Structure 1
């Protein structure tokens, strides 16, 4: 399609001078969904983006010069990597979510103990089944009265290994904020169970990912394929934002679900904007 300017729609999109690069990827994705880029299939594999971008720009924009051709190809290549990466990230997170915590799985047990070591480096666990897990916010329900302690593994139901890995990522790579969240969780008035809250927020960010609400954030902030670490980073940012939102409300724990729902509504307003970037978001901008 030729525009009034003499440019094709693809050329117009790929030569936009915008601060939020996610707008370009969003429009490229729209062209793909509408079948406006006949060379490209709905799905393609990693490593094919440069070849695809070269063929598409050459076919759809045959009159551009060599320098502009290279610039447009590189922009399109980036967009294609982001689009494919988002789809693959959705698949990977679902696979992790569906992997249930198994107490007989040695790796699962090691990862759970790793979480304790990261959050409570100065306190050793007395046993695998112990009330100590409640200190980092597990509900840790007893299955039977014969158990000598509580098992935190029961809290992972629904979010599986995904939620455990996100809590570990927070505790390992965002140490200061993890300890700040743990401290807030033990506040005598405004405290909340940290681990269980984290599992709830894993459910939130997973839902945002699956309904494509995180697309603009990833398209604006990643230079190529969004990775699982990028997704874990989103979890960390959302947890920090939730804590700030929670503190502003000065709530009682019985209102947790209502406040979480309000938080999600405010978060969606930001994520739906073309400027979506969770790294720059402050709850002070929330209504």
Structure 2
């Protein structure tokens, strides 16, 4: 079980997931006993997305959309449907751009390189980690790096707060956040079935970059939750649940008419 990839663990059902996490905990203790210092190559395998666990309270009537909202949803869904393809030049360029945004002073030796572990990918080939979030998860990371570079670097370098010795790997956590938001907002349905999804589509119709911006907010909020909970490796799923609940609460606030009105937006610099 310890050889499974991040994306395989994400899509397991709850019973199998609990069993996997028990085995993973045992594996982690074994690695600690061997004196391994928490490398991203194996840390990432322990991350799973809370969004894969459905709740009965999520089932709600669908909401009608305006023509503008419907068009925005379709454009976003077309992005979500794109898998990362390492043979496509535009995907290769986006990955290189992400590296240069993250490490502007360090030359990248190749799209398959041990260097990628510095960013928190599981191995030397990031393409294997995009299966859980698709190409949009790379676009999210790149949007974050370009639009909020200080916050991006703070998270990448773990520069703020009293950090755990067993930290979450940055890039794999980013893919997890993309997947969580897609599920939380019900973006793969023809119409939103939850109020939170309907609210978001209204925001999206007024700001085409709303999903990318919400991603940045969610990443910063997740890290804040991580620090406030004094979390470590095996607490990641609990942190993700807390992050999702806080995002839902803020999006439902009456005075939030745009994402910049969310209290957590202030976490971005």
Under a length normalisation based on structure 1, what TM-score does the superposition of the two structures give? 0.60
Aligned counterparts of 1:176 and 1:279: Cα–Cα separation in 2: 18
Deviation string, structure 1 residues 156-211 (Cα, Å, up to 9, x no partner): 10321111111100001111111111122895536321111111111122223324
Asked if 1 retains the 8 angstrom alpha-carbon contact of 2:144 and 2:216, the reply is yes
Name the SS of the counterpart of 1:157 in structure 2: helix
Distance 2:225 2:261 in 1: 15
User: What do the CA deviations read for 1:57-84 (whole angstroms, capped 9, x no partner)?
Assistant: xxxxxxxxxxxxxxxxxxxxxxxxxx43
2:114 aligned with 1:168, yes or no? no
Q: RMSD between aligned alpha carbons?
A: 2.6
Structure 2 CA distance for partners of 1:112 and 1:185, relative to 1, 3 Å? farther
Change (3 A) 1:243 1:205: same
Deviation at 1:109, TM superposition (A): 0.5
C-alpha displacement of 1:239 = 1.2
**Partner of 1:262 in structure 2?**
242
Alpha-carbon separation, structure 2, partners of 1:214 and 1:268: 10
Matched, 1:204 2:180: yes
Secondary structure of the residue aligned to 2:209 is helix
Taking a change above 3 Å as real, the CA distance of residues 121 and 278 of structure 1, as seen in their structure-2 partners, is: same
Q: 1:228, 1:161 → 2: CA distance?
A: 17
Query: Larger radius of gyration, structure 1 or 2?
Result: 1
3-state SS of 2:158 partner = helix
Give the count of matched residue pairs: 193
Q: Does 1:179 align with 2:153?
A: yes
Which residue of structure 2 lines up, in the alignment, with residue 275 of structure 1? 255
- For the pair 1:159 / 2:159, whether they are aligned, the reply is no
> 2:111 corresponds to which residue?
128
Residue 153 of structure 2 aligns to a residue in which SS?
helix
Q: Distance in 1 between matches of 2:230 and 2:170?
A: 16
Structure 1 residues 97 and 218, CA gap change in structure 2 (3 angstroms):
closer
Shift of 1:105: 0.7
Q: List, as ranges, runs of 4+ consecutive aligned residues in structure 1 with deviation greater than 4 Å.
A: 185-188
Q: Deviations over 1:208-254 (max 9, x none)?
A: 332451543564x67xx334322211111111111111111111111
